[in-house]
Chains A and B, each alone.
Chain A
Amino acid sequence: QKEVEQDPGPLSVPEGAIVSLNCTYSNSAFQYFMWYRQYSRKGPELLMYTYSSGNKEDGRFTAQVDKSSKYISLFIRDSQPSDSATYLCAMKGHAGKSTFGDGTTLTVKP
């Protein structure tokens, strides 16, 4: 079993929809929880990060971490066609490398 499991998708939603992207994990040592966005034929770029449990909001994006359930989510409100990309969750402890999910491909249709 992988340390990080991500809902596989793909997801296709109409413009303006609320999108929920989710990951579960098994390693209790993870403290940092990140979401990366990857456009086609580009490298991933960091979108948001959360340290430990709780919510973090940045514009239309909200990252949520529930350490008791080992479950993280990224919510996108008022989704736009420009949000169409692959979203990767990633996690790490206080030191060492990050562990990535396999990604969820999102298409937002105008």
Chain B
Amino acid sequence: GAGVSQSPSNKVTEKGKDVELRCDPISGHTALYWYRQSLGQGLEFLIYFQGNSAPDKSGLPSDRFSAERTGGSVSTLTIQRTQQEDSAVYLCASSPGDRSYEQYFGPGTRLTVT
């Protein structure tokens, strides 16, 4: 079946512009995660959605970052007033549920802020 998809695959933007990154999780998966991965670094947790519960936003680095998940499916990560330090690969993952150990990752969106 279809895996997790993300769009765009690459995004180049100017400093100060807003960007939106999209994630389509695997159908039926109730848990959705966003991570950031800088070059050669590990995964930095950003935000976690589980069903209809309030999202865990504890990893968002600043109030310029926000995310929403509509209808329990598609999610959008928005970065306002982008800065050069926001340049990274943004990865989305989905999971069958809160108690599942498996996360299925998308290919990521490579964001470059010039």
Measuring CB to CB, which residues of chain A are less than 8 angstroms from any residue of chain B? Answer: 6, 32, 34, 42-46, 49, 51, 88, 90, 92, 94-103, 105
Contact = CB atoms under 8 A, between A and B. Distances in A.
24 contacts: A43-B4, A43-B93, A43-B105, A43-B107, A44-B91, A44-B103, A44-B105, A46-B102, A49-B101, A49-B102, A51-B101, A94-B99, A95-B99, A97-B33, A97-B56, A98-B101, A98-B103, A100-B42, A100-B45, A101-B42, A102-B41, A103-B41, A103-B42, A103-B43
B25 interface: no
B65 to A, nearest CB: 17
Interface in B62-79: none
Interface string B85-100: 0000001010000110
Interface of B: 4, 33, 35, 40-43, 45, 48, 56, 91, 93, 98-99, 101-108
